[in-house]
Amino acid sequence: MATSRPRQRAYHHGDLQAALLRAAGRMLEKRGLARLSLRQAAGGIGVSHNAPYRHFPDRDSLLAALAAQGFAALGSAMQEAAASGGLRAMGAAYVRFALRRPQRFRLMFGSAVPSARHAALRENATRVFERLVQALAPQLPGPAGRDASLAAWALVHGLSQLLLDERIAAAALRGRDRDTLVSAVLESIRFAAAKAQTPP
């Protein structure tokens, strides 16, 4: 008896790229970076294993697109948070993104995809930093604002990484969930900065 092949789906030119990125994004979070391939992404949406090469010439270009997409989503989340809650809300949004999309976050900031070779990735990553600069500009214009933006980025990124790698001891959590801890840490830094700026 003949075995029927699974029917391959037809996608319009633009739809295929978006569908591949969605499938690859799901696989990245579920299986991790090492097990993600163009062939698997194609199989995930039911197209031939050659179909992805119309949009992504190699695995590196697929990963770069996923990382660029991640930075765009992170920037949007931070901008939305800033509109309602200011700098601290931006920081909380950053950490929340990392905890909800750990594999995407690691891809974005890891060494698997050199941003120097991918313009869209580089531009989207730069926009995230520029959003921090713009948020701090009213209080700290010029070079001081950019330095403070780097310090803020280092804080929220380090906190995200410590939480992802489970490097924060239970004693530091003191029975709190991660969202409560993040809020407390960001509040304590804000308070310390305000104290430091107060003249003696």
23-32: string of b/e by CB count within 10 Å (b at 16+)? bbbebbeeee
Clarify whether residues 75 and 50 are in a common domain.
Answer: no
Distance CA 89, CA 61 (A): 32
Dihedral angle sign, alpha carbons of residues 35, 167, 173, 71: negative
C-alpha closest to that of 22 among 47, 1, 5: 47
Rg (CA), the chain: 20
Distance CA 116, CA 95 (A): 25
Clarify whether residues 52 and 79 are in a common domain.
Answer: no
Residue 128 lies in a domain: yes
Name the domain count of the chain: 2
Residue 5 lies in a domain: no
Residue 2 lies in a domain: no
Clarify whether residues 14 and 86 are in a common domain.
Answer: no
Clarify whether residues 134 and 171 are in a common domain.
Answer: yes
Clarify whether residues 76 and 20 are in a common domain.
Answer: no
Provide the token pair at 175.
């029975």
Prediction pTM value: 0.82
Provide the token pair at 124.
């989207």
We report the CATH number of the domain holding residue 106 as 1.10.357.10
How much is the pLDDT for 124?
Answer: 94
Clarify whether residues 49 and 137 are in a common domain.
Answer: no
Clarify whether residues 160 and 94 are in a common domain.
Answer: yes
How much is the pLDDT for 9?
Answer: 63
> What is the three-class DSSP state of 50?
coil
How much is the pLDDT for 7?
Answer: 52
How much is the pLDDT for 14?
Answer: 58
Clarify whether residues 114 and 37 are in a common domain.
Answer: no
Clarify whether residues 188 and 163 are in a common domain.
Answer: yes
Clarify whether residues 29 and 84 are in a common domain.
Answer: no
Clarify whether residues 77 and 101 are in a common domain.
Answer: yes
pLDDT digits (tens, 9 = 90+) for 32-56: 999 998 888 888 888 887 887 888 8
Domain encompassing residue 53: 10-57
Please count the residues of the chain.
200
Low-confidence ranges of the chain (pLDDT < 70): 1-14, 189-200
How much is the pLDDT for 108?
Answer: 96
How much is the pLDDT for 99?
Answer: 95
How much is the pLDDT for 8?
Answer: 57
> Percent helix, strand, coil in the chain (nearest 5)?
75, 0, 25
We report the CATH number of the domain holding residue 51 as 1.10.10.60
Task: Please enumerate in sequence order all residues whose Cβ is within 8 A of that of 163, keeping only pairs 6 or more positions apart, or say none.
Answer: 95, 98, 99, 178, 181, 182
How much is the pLDDT for 142?
Answer: 82
> What is the three-class DSSP state of 47?
coil
Clarify whether residues 75 and 48 are in a common domain.
Answer: no
